[in-house]
Amino acid sequence: MASQLRILIIEDSADDALLMVKELERSGYEPISERVETSEGLQTALDRQTWDIVLSDYVLPHFDVKAAINIVRGKDPNIPFILISGKIGEEKVTAALKFGAQAYVSKDHLTTLVPIIEQEITDARLRRNNKRNEQLLVESEQRYRAVVTHLPDIVMIHQAGKIVFLNQSLPQISGYQKEELIGKNLIEFIAPKDRKKVVEMVARRAAGETIDDYEADLVMKDGTLRPFLIRGTMIDYLGQKASLAVLIDIYEREKEEKVKDEFLSIVSHELRTPLEITREGISQVIDGLHGQITEAQNKPLATALKNCDRLGHLIENLLDLSRLEAGKIVPRQEIFDIVKLALETTTTLKARIDTKGLSLKGDFPTEPLYILADKNEISEVLSNFVTNAVKFTSKGSITVSVEKKEEKVECAVTDTGIGISKDDLPKLFRKFQQFARVPGSGEKGVGLGLSIAKRLVEINGGQIWAESEPNKGSRFAFSLPLTQAK
């Protein structure tokens, strides 16, 4: 199929223009052409539609070629402008090309017209694409620059022991001028106490290890220390290995945590002291320190005392959970036999809690199973499971079991209680979730025990879960990796 070509011809001779059109038609084109003679005509034609090419005579009676080129370029800098003329001499041709025409074709050699037009159209397309690409590149560069510059976090590229790129954040936060930082080693700005850690982390990352975010203090220009969370990755920067680091200012966060800690400490003190006084007062009366009391007087006081203990336990749980959430509790891990621990915990619980006539059984392997964990925390989780089971079981049994499962040990408490509905199962380990597993049982907590248990198991590297069938019973379990005996 013939290709269409939109040609604007600046020519005072209609015959010459026709010759050009014919030449194109001979080569298989279907030219759409318009001939103009004046600058106004040229302007109007350019405004009306886009053109693939402009062919122009050199000698124009109504205006000159320079003016014509100017008008065309003003409209579209990339449209090919081809000069077609009789013999005009190299000088004029050169001048016209310099001024912005793309090519010259002699009217005596119109056979070269088509190849030149094709060449010029291809070139123009390339020029347009290049221009577009350049534009895209500039836009992309601007976009990234805007993101990196305005990011409140510090973005830094470190290469061959030097800071080679830095956004505005570090200068803004630290008080240093950008020039005082570029070219320096970041380590110079790390607080001396954290230098060893940072050097080690950087080396490990450079060796290909995946490193978690870590904290380090930076020394500000005024000498004060400010905490940052450092997150880094190895990149290729201008053809060489470099470290890209993002430093997040955690000064405010740390301050908030301190306030929270203080608040917790005050709350715990302020809540416990009146509780302690109340408890002691009641207990002195019960103990007969202020004279003998009757059975009838003892009963409400005993209830009051029991509830003081409940409140104390609740405060304890709230504080534990806050500390766990703040990462303040670091497990004191040791290698121990979990079978022995489960046996001991079960025995202690049997003696301590009122099992309401339920049988509390143990199902333990004969050989010891060693794990690396915090003994007290694991015991607390087991106690929580058993206490819950007692609360929600009215008849039958509660079984504490320990079992080796491949590389793990699974510890579970199974009851024959009322169970938990499928909908409630996933909510079990969330904070402040309570389920009336035993309607009207009067057994209430605030729903913190299991969320504490979950965190305790997790900080010891284990998993926790529950299975249940309503009216048949529940099974609460956790698993921890087995380890070798000491």
Partner 1 sequence: MAKILLVDDEKEFVEMLTVRLQKSGGHEVLQAFDGEEGLRLAQEKKPDVILLDIMMPKMDGREAIRRLKAEAKTAAIPIIILTASVSTKSMQEFAKLGAFDFIIKPFSSDQLIAKIKTALGDLAG
Within 8 A by CB and 6+ apart from 182, the residues are: 162, 163, 164, 166
For residue 150, state whether it binds partner 1 (rule: CB under 8 A).
no
Q: What is the DSSP string of 4-43?
A: EEEEEEE-S-HHHHHHHHHHHHHTTEEEEEEEE-SHHHHH
CB of 355 to partner 1, least distance (A): 22
Among 3, 224, 265, 434, binds partner 1 (CB under 8 A): 265
For residue 258, state whether it binds partner 1 (rule: CB under 8 A).
no
Instruction: Return the range that interacts with partner 1 (CB under 8 A); candidates 238-246, 264-272, 386-394, 440-448.
Output: 264-272
What is the distance of C-alpha 279 from the center of its chain?
A: 49
CB of 453 to partner 1, least distance (A): 20
Among 78, 283, 355, 397, binds partner 1 (CB under 8 A): 283
For residue 287, state whether it binds partner 1 (rule: CB under 8 A).
yes
x/- string (CB under 8 A) for partner 1, residues 324-353?
A: ----xxx-x---------------------
Q: By the 8 A CB rule, do 80 and 54 touch?
A: yes
Within 10 Å of residue 239's Cβ, how many Cβ atoms?
Answer: 6
For residue 273, state whether it binds partner 1 (rule: CB under 8 A).
yes
For residue 319, state whether it binds partner 1 (rule: CB under 8 A).
yes
Among 312, 461, 470, 481, binds partner 1 (CB under 8 A): 312
Pairwise CA distance, residues 62 & 38, whole Å: 6
Pairwise CA distance, residues 163 & 157, whole Å: 6
How is residue 2 written in tokens?
Answer: 């013939």
Specify the residue, 312 or 362, whose C-beta has the smaller distance to partner 1: 312
Phi, psi (5° rounding) for residue 211? -110, 130
Among 25, 200, 280, 325, binds partner 1 (CB under 8 A): 280
Query: Which of 72, 74, 52, 77 lies closest to 130, judged by CA?
Result: 77
Strand ranges in 340-436 using DSSP code E only, listed in sequence order: 359-363, 370-373, 397-405, 408-415
For residue 361, state whether it binds partner 1 (rule: CB under 8 A).
no
Number of residues in contact with partner 1 under rule CB under 8 A: 24
CB of 325 to partner 1, least distance (A): 14
For residue 207, state whether it binds partner 1 (rule: CB under 8 A).
no
Pairwise CA distance, residues 130 & 310, whole Å: 77
Pairwise CA distance, residues 481 & 460, whole Å: 9
**Would you tell me which residues interact with partner 1 (CB under 8 A)?**
264-265, 268-269, 272-273, 275-277, 279-281, 283-284, 287, 289, 308, 312, 319, 323, 328-330, 332
